[in-house]
Chain A
């Protein structure tokens, strides 16, 4: 156990020694600041446009533009971008060693391949969690600090209003779900990384798989309808389920189970392949 902790620390050191690791944090920071500035200057216009639907019949009381709305918008904007940032680091975890020619040297150490993979994946997962925590800190923390608390209005099939008191647990659940989704993405990139000798392939491959499947299943909705429930990409925006007025627990459970199944599959393939792999670089 002690050696595993040491290995994880070493892997984390390697991750945070690379400049690309900070691209994710920098990008999230810039995007969130841009969203917050946009809401500050143009939020009321956007709100007025959205409210045209209700404006004919209703008048509103309450602080609509608040930290929770900002956090929701941040999540809505970033759920397709964060996988790219996750893949940027986790796609490099194994292939990066091959690329830099350090694998054979690494394998001369008295550690099993399984242990090395576990350490590498947990280090990559730690990065993923830190990325999400950073998003919470800047998105939610900054949003609440500058825009204050308030109820949340969410537009889906219907318009859902949530009181401020129930929002902390909804956001906590949404972020926890998001962490699971990003772990699956990390596992996919990790798996592709185990097959590659260069980190560009797994990174681009992961992004291509996610965006490709998402586009195909969105545009060809009727064609892909029977397959969609079995694709992990279908569940990437599943965090939105926590902003349904009545929680669909069966749907959430199914989303979690499908994602866990993919997680096991991706990691299983990685471990199976890597344990038999010829290390040539």
Chain B
């Protein structure tokens, strides 16, 4: 009798787990399908960098996107863009196959989302784990956190206005940056000699505000 109860419980939980995986996959595939509808667009971007040791005024750039993951930036002067978060890494990651787990429901800025953990099948890629907060009713991703081998952890918050293709009008990318100090022989900054350099790391943030979307391929 004891063995039968144990077997029944095991079957029940594995069933729940398989269902959770199916449901999360369904949500992610719907999200992917929706994003893939937009094949080409251009947009004006205003980039604000908030990193302790970087001083740069807000910069304007023109961004062109061509499916599946081709981004092209044009700016009059320097533009500092985060390595992750600008590209649709999640679509690329899903293309290679993935395993997903629905974790729980969670509110992101008053929107009830499903928190889904995604493990890419390809273990050679940079991203080893991703967490996505997706509104299943609209197939909109409001937040994403990626854990990568080379670039550390990135948290990307997506903000949306009423755009027909649900493209974000603001993206905030937060990440960890190392505080390094270059030798004086390179900087020539003799005034800084004797001052103790801050070590360790701090959180950096890049905020990109999008406007004037022109979707040319759909």
Contacts and interface: CB of A to CB of B under 8 A. Distances in A.
Contact of A237 (B52, B54, B191, B195): B191
A58 interface: yes
Contacts of A60: 78-81
B80 A58 contact: yes
- Nearest first, the 10 A-B pairs at minimum CB distance are A221-B194, A76-B188, A245-B55, A161-B56, A62-B78, A151-B77, A61-B79, A155-B187, A158-B53, A151-B78
A54 B191 CA distance: 23
A151 B55 CA distance: 13
Interface in B171-218: 175, 177-178, 180, 182, 186-195, 204
B165 interface: no
Interface in A203-262: 218, 221-222, 225, 237, 240, 245
28 contacts: A46-B186, A49-B186, A53-B178, A56-B83, A56-B150, A56-B152, A58-B80, A59-B81, A59-B83, A59-B86, A60-B80, A60-B81, A61-B74, A61-B79, A61-B81, A64-B78, A150-B77, A155-B187, A156-B192, A157-B53, A157-B189, A158-B52, A158-B55, A159-B53, A161-B77, A163-B57, A221-B194, A245-B55
B188 A62 contact: no
Interface string B153-181: 00000000000000000000001011010
B78 A153 contact: yes
A57 B204 contact: yes
Interface string A156-185: 111111011000000000000000000000
Contact of A158 (B54, B74, B194): B54
B17 interface: no
A220 B54 CA distance: 30
A157 B192 contact: yes
A50 interface: yes
Contact of A155 (B79, B151, B189): B189
Interface of B: 52-57, 61, 73-75, 77-83, 86, 150-152, 175, 177-178, 180, 182, 186-195, 204
B81 A58 contact: yes
A62 B75 contact: yes
A161 B178 contact: no
B77 A163 contact: yes
Contact of A58 (B52, B57, B75, B83): B83
A57 B188 contact: no
A248 to B, nearest CB: 11
The winner among A53, A160, A221 for most chain B CB atoms within 10 A is A53
Chain A interface bracket (under 10, 10 to 19, 20 to 34, 35 or more): 20 to 34
B152 A161 contact: no
A155 B186 contact: yes
B217 to A, nearest CB: 23
Nearest to A72: B188
A50 B55 contact: no
A198 to B, nearest CB: 32
A240 B191 contact: yes
Given A56-B151, A221-B193, A240-B189, A155 B182 contact: yes
A204 B108 CA distance: 71
Given A57-B204, A61-B75, A151-B78, A161 B57 contact: yes
Contacts of A46: 186
A153 B80 CA distance: 12
B151 to A, nearest CB: 6
B105 to A, nearest CB: 32
Contacts of A218: 190, 193
A237 B188 CA distance: 9
A61 B182 CA distance: 22
Contacts of A150: 77
Given A156-B191, A156-B192, 13 more contacts: A50-B186, A57-B177, A61-B78, A62-B75, A62-B77, A77-B188, A151-B77, A155-B182, A155-B186, A158-B53, A161-B57, A161-B77, A218-B193
A76 B52 CA distance: 25
Contacts of A76: 188
